[in-house]
Every structure is written in structure tokens, then in C-alpha cells.
Amino acid sequence: MAARNASPATIPQLASLDDREFRRLASFIERELGIRMPESKRVMLESRLQKRLRLHGLGSFREYVDYVFSERGLRTEMINMIDAVTTNKTDFFREADHFDFLRSRILPGLAENGAGRTLSFWSAGCSSGEEPYTLAMVLEDFRSRTPRMDYRILATDISSRVLEAAERAIYDMDKVEPIPYDYKKRFLLRSKNPDRAEVRIRPELRAKVDFRRVNFMDETYPVPSGFDTVFCRNVIIYFDRPTQERILGHICAHIRPGGWLFIGHSETLTGMNLPLRGTAPTIYQRE
């Protein structure tokens, strides 16, 4: 079935997401994305997908679900549905003590022991770019005092929409409020249009970050091995416990022995069989 084009005025009042269609979507989301989708999330799912129905001129969720799982929909709409249902909340310098630990405890050792090679970092679940660009600011500041050090950052997410926003690297002024003043002066460019309260990450910093789409539910991840440090924060909280352990096991396989893993403050690895040892709350080192 092909989606129809229609103006918003001609679209009838949207029906609710009924039991059958909710189960069909929830089953797919849990199976393919690993995101738990209990009954309590039905209203959230319905709300996020209504824009997609309106865009295609569809008057019911049944029509939309049939379209998503049609041959054409699997090619053209599935990725948009995934973008709509995934959660992408992030901030610059979120959980700032992690970056303090990186500056004071990790980077001096990496710079000393890794002289002559490019250090590698992975922002796994980068959303719209705030985390990898925060990481780039911290690394660039450290590099300015450590000339022999160089680095690259890989930033990945399942959502193509947020990856496109991250590559643009344009943010409202209120979003960059947590960035220290010195970093704002060094790493941000004000919009040339005085009516636009926006900034953009400087090109030399953007050049240090590579963006790539990765689905953590895949059996293998198309990323290199040997990362010095991985930030996977506030990502696994959306998965059930066995899936969390499987994902982190895959991620650990891409961290070099002695490398580091940061997880979110609301997350825990207690009881998981992983090659990690805790060094500080939510900070682990690869064995």
C-alpha cells in the first residue's frame, strides 16, 4: 500500500492506536531495537507517530502500520518510524564529573603511554552531538598543552535524524549554556544573522568527529576495535537486563585492554559478566 498525499485540512480525526496495531509495533520495536515497549508507553508511541500519519495523509494507525510493513514502507518509512520512537535527550557537559575524571585521571596517562599514535574515543549513543562535541572540547583543550597528542572521535546512533543534526552542529544559545565560557569563546561560532540565537561548532573541532549509524541490536557493530575510551551513557537504560549485558559485551570487544568505559549515573553493571573492573561510580576499566 502506498501512502497518500493530502493536506492537513482533509485528514480526518486520527483514531487511537488499538490493541492489535500497538502489539504489532511494540513487538517489532522490542525485537529489532531492543527498546522496551510496555502498555504504559502506548500513549507516547501514539503521540510520536501521529506526525508520520499526518505527513502521509493517513487517517488511521492501521493504515500506517500496514504501510510501514509493506515492501515500499520497509524501504522508505521504517527508518523514519525508528527515528520517531527513539528517545534522544542529551546536553553539553551532561554528568560533568565524567569529563573531570577524563581530564585528571585518564588523559595524562593516555598522552604519556600513547605518544606517537592517535587516541581513539567512541560516543556510543551520541544523539544530536552534544556528547561527542563536549568530548572534543575537552580533548582539544588538553591537546593544546600536550603537542604530541592527537585524537579521533567516532559518534554513533541508531537515529539518522539526530545524526544529521549532529553533523550540522548548529545549536540554540540556551543549549550551549552549560559550556564553560572559555570553551564557548574558543570552540563556538555565533550566527552571522543577529536575529538567529544560534551557534555552530568550529570546523576544526567538527573535523575531529566521524558520525555513523549503528543499531546495538545487530550481532556485530561496524566500528573499529581498540578504543581508548568509550562513552555509552544513558543508553542501556532503555533495554532489558539480558540485552544490556549483550550490548555491553559487544562494546567491550571494541575497547583495548586497559581502556575505559563510562556509563550513565542511573545505570549499573551489577551482576553482569563483563571484562570490566570498577574504578569510580559508573566508570570502568577493561581488563
Residue with cell 551520541: 126
CB atoms within 10 A of CB 88: 16
Instruction: List the catalytic residue out of 157, 206, 228, 233.
Output: 157
Catalytic residue among 24, 36, 48, 200: 48
Coil, helix or strand at residue 54: helix
Give DSSP secondary structure letters for 106-165: IHHHHHHHTTTSEEEEEEET-TTTHHHHHHHHHHHHHHTT-TT-EEEEEEEES-HHHHHH
Burial class (CB in 10 A: 0-12, 13-18, 19+), 19: exposed
With b meaning 16 or more CB within 10 Å and e meaning fewer, what string describes 171-194?
A: beeebbeebeeebbeebbeeeeee
> Which residues are paired to 153 by β-bridges?
121, 209
105 is catalytic: no
Phi, psi of 210 (to 5 degrees): -110, 135
Residue 170's CB: how many other CB atoms inside 10 A? 15
For 27, 94, 104, the CA distances from 151, given in Å and listed in that order, are: 40, 21, 17
48 labelled catalytic: yes
Residue closest to 175 by CA, chosen among 194, 199, 192, 157? 199
Q: Which residues are catalytic?
A: 48, 157
